[in-house]
Structure 1
């Protein structure tokens, strides 16, 4: 999706952490993966650990750098959760007990309902009214991080998206839009990320 809208995709791995300062980037996508170590939000583990400390450290550094530079950032699933943690928020470590109206079954298919809450960036991109999303996560955002607001939730009231209203593009979504690119409104998340990244690069060059 990054390449489709004119961007150049550069994948960073934990082994490249020490080289992070050598990479110049105009936008960031933090993708899905293992659970985030709860020590990062000062809590004890409540579920069987499936952590990746090296990745936590790399992505925290990338997010911090993006936040300090005002670089557009899209966090997907784990990426949204880590963005929230980097802003001082916390997570629900196991969603099974939170599910009342929705299934806990993980699926790539858009079988769950997203309810938009604000008139911010996400609503501008997805349009008004509920839309369908997929779900591959067992954890989710609990306490909202500093400067962030809830942009959408599901039928159980579980946070599905966060955004910073003071930034042109700082967005975290709990679902996986990269698996829903056949839906035009989902592609807009990536299109807008590239658009804002290009605009900010051009402004900086002037």
Structure 2
């Protein structure tokens, strides 16, 4: 298991759904494959592209289309909530909780790697915003730490998939339309799923 450093912080998710409204959720091909298998939906039914020019510099692969550069994210509803959120009473519940994207698994924490040490900290934009910070017991992040190696591998694989697409766009082998990209992505996800089933 990877070594980790993390803050001594109390946190428990209070199921308010604010993080699901506030942020766009970037995904990898592995996240998409898990969600598609779990829901029976085609990726294009729950994915969207978020313009890079409207975002900070995310540590995510940049998808090139003929009309710009984008990040791959989960769709949102008109009220700003993630497509997979459902109100149950006064709680906003994730309907794909058991297969949710890695970025959701870590929130409100972020991490970076320093050699073989994963360093966790509370995401600065979650401070004063996430009502679960300061509630419950102290976090131990065992589950999150155990999944770091897999998350890093997923991001590396996804970057390779997107780099291949971007090369197709650069060399003019594809027109760089959204429809072509979604076809390409679904084929890549099918290949990944067959290989890992």
- Give the TM-score band, short-chain normalised: under 0.3
Scaled by the length of structure 1, the TM-score of the pair is: 0.25
Greater relative contact order (Cα 8 A, min sep 6): structure 1 or 2?
A: 2
